[in-house]
Structure 1
Amino acid sequence: MIPMAERTAPPAPETPSTPGAEASAPAAPSAWSPLRQPVFRALWLGALASNLGLWIQNAAGSWDMTSLSSAPLHVALLQTASSFPVFLVGLPAAAFGDIFDRRRLLIGFATWMAFISAILAALSFTNSLTPESLLALTFALGLGAALSAPLWQALLPTLVDRAEVAPAITLGGVAINIARGLGPAIGGIGIALAGSAPVYAFNALAFGAVIFQVVRWKQERPRPSLPPERVVGAIIAGLRFARRAPALQSVLLRAAAFILAGSALWALLPVVARRELQLSPLRFGLLLGCIGVGALAGAAFLPRFRARLGVDRLVLTASILYAGTMLVLAHVRSEPPLYLAMFATGVAWIAVLSSLNVAAASAAPGWVQSRALGLYLLVFQGGQAAGSLAWGTLAGRAGTDVTLTLAAAILLVGLLVGVRHRLAAVNKEHVQPVAAWTEPVLAHPVAIEAGPVLVQRRYLVRDENRAAFLRLARDLESHRRRDGAITWGLFEDLALPGTFLETFLVATWAEHLRQHQRVTAADGKIIDAIAEISRPEEVSHLLDAYAPADAEMGEEHAHADESHPH
Structure 2
Amino acid sequence: MFSSLRVRNYRLFATGQVVSNVGTWMQRIAQDWLVLVLTDNNPVALGVAAALQFLPTLLLSLWAGVLADRFDKRKMLIGVQAAIATSALLLGLLDVTGLVQVWHVYLFCFVLGVFSAVEVPTRQSFVVEIVGRDQVTNAVALNSTSFNLARIVGPAIAGVMITLVGTGWLFLGNAVLTVAVIVGLVMMDPAKLLSTPRLARAKGQLREGLRYVWGRPDLMTVMVLVFFVSTFGMTFFVSLAVVAANVFQRDAAGYGLLSTTLAVGTLGGALLAARRSGRRPRTRRLLLAAFTFGVLEVVAGLMPSYLTFALALVPVGFAVMTFMTTANTTVQLAVSPEMRGRVMGLYMLVFLGGNPVGAPLTGWLASSLGGRSPLLIGGAVAALAAVVCGVVLARRGGVRLPARVRGLRVLRRA
Q: TM class, shorter-chain normalised?
A: 0.7 to 0.9
| Aligned match of 1:203 | 174
Change (3 A) 1:225 1:400: closer
| Aligned match of 2:25 | 55
Q: Does 2:84 align with 1:113?
A: yes
| Aligned match of 2:16 | 46
Cα displacement (A) at 1:358? 0.6
AA at the equivalent of 1:406: I
Distance in 2, Cα, partners of 1:231 & 1:344: 47
Q: Does 2:65 align with 1:65?
A: no
Q: Residues 80-128 of structure 1, C-alpha deviation per residue, up to 9 Å, x if partnerless?
A: 1222111121112111111101121111101110110001110111111
Cα displacement (A) at 1:269? 1.0
Choose from 157, 164, 176 the match for 1:193. 164
Change (3 A) 1:186 1:325: farther
| Aligned match of 2:392 | 420
| Aligned match of 1:33 | 3
Distance in 2, Cα, partners of 1:258 & 1:226: 34
Change (3 A) 1:221 1:234: farther
Change (3 A) 1:143 1:182: farther
Distance in 1, Cα, partners of 2:193 & 2:17: 24
- 2:372 is paired with a residue of what secondary structure? helix
Distance in 2, Cα, partners of 1:223 & 1:72: 45
Q: Percent of aligned positions with the same letter in both sequences?
A: 28
TM-score (norm 1): 0.65
Cα displacement (A) at 1:223? 12
AA at the equivalent of 1:420: V
In the alignment, structure 2 segments of 5+ residues that lack a partner are 400-414
| Aligned match of 1:373 | 344
| Aligned match of 2:316 | 345
Change (3 A) 1:223 1:280: closer
| Aligned match of 1:284 | 255
Distance in 2, Cα, partners of 1:149 & 1:286: 26
AA at the equivalent of 1:332: M
Show the 5 A alignment for 1:106-505. 106-220=77-191, 228-230=199-201, 233-302=204-273, 311-415=282-386, 416-421=388-393
Change (3 A) 1:137 1:410: same
TM-score (norm 2): 0.87
Cα displacement (A) at 1:290? 1.6
Q: Residues 513-566 of structure 1, C-alpha deviation per residue, up to 9 Å, x if partnerless?
A: xxxxxxxxxxxxxxxxxxxxxxxxxxxxxxxxxxxxxxxxxxxxxxxxxxxxxx
Change (3 A) 1:97 1:84: same
Q: Does 2:57 align with 1:86?
A: yes
Distance in 1, Cα, partners of 2:173 & 2:322: 30
Whether the aligned pair in 1 keeps the contact of 2:298 and 2:377 (CA below 8 Å) is: no
Distance in 1, Cα, partners of 2:271 & 2:255: 25
Cα displacement (A) at 1:213? 1.1
| Aligned match of 1:12 | none
Distance in 2, Cα, partners of 1:53 & 1:325: 29
AA at the equivalent of 1:290: T
Higher fraction of strand: 1
168-177 or 148-157, larger mean C-alpha shift: 168-177
Cα displacement (A) at 1:328? 4.1
Whether the aligned pair in 2 keeps the contact of 1:76 and 1:268 (CA below 8 Å) is: no
| Aligned match of 1:453 | none
Cα displacement (A) at 1:203? 0.6
Whether the aligned pair in 1 keeps the contact of 2:141 and 2:274 (CA below 8 Å) is: no
Cα displacement (A) at 1:282? 2.3
Q: Which structure's CA Rg is the greater one?
A: 1
Which structure is higher in RCO with an 8 Å CA cutoff and minimum separation 6? 2
AA at the equivalent of 2:247: E
369-378 or 244-253, larger mean C-alpha shift: 244-253
Change (3 A) 1:35 1:120: same
Distance in 2, Cα, partners of 1:38 & 1:198: 33
Q: Residues 339-381 of structure 1, C-alpha deviation per residue, up to 9 Å, x if partnerless?
A: 2122212211210000110111122110010111110000010
Distance in 1, Cα, partners of 2:24 & 2:298: 27
Pairwise CA RMSD of aligned residues? 2.8
Distance in 1, Cα, partners of 2:266 & 2:376: 23
Distance in 2, Cα, partners of 1:339 & 1:224: 43
- 2:362 is paired with a residue of what secondary structure? helix
Distance in 2, Cα, partners of 1:345 & 1:376: 22
Distance in 1, Cα, partners of 2:3 & 2:238: 34
Distance in 2, Cα, partners of 1:224 & 1:60: 37
411-420 or 223-232, larger mean C-alpha shift: 223-232
Whether the aligned pair in 2 keeps the contact of 1:182 and 1:288 (CA below 8 Å) is: no
- 1:400 is paired with a residue of what secondary structure? coil
Change (3 A) 1:273 1:346: same
Cα displacement (A) at 1:41? 1.5
213-222 or 388-397, larger mean C-alpha shift: 213-222
Higher fraction of helix: 2
Whether the aligned pair in 1 keeps the contact of 2:298 and 2:380 (CA below 8 Å) is: no
Distance in 2, Cα, partners of 1:388 & 1:323: 18
Whether the aligned pair in 2 keeps the contact of 1:92 and 1:231 (CA below 8 Å) is: no
How many correspondences in the alignment?
Answer: 396
Cα displacement (A) at 1:253? 1.2
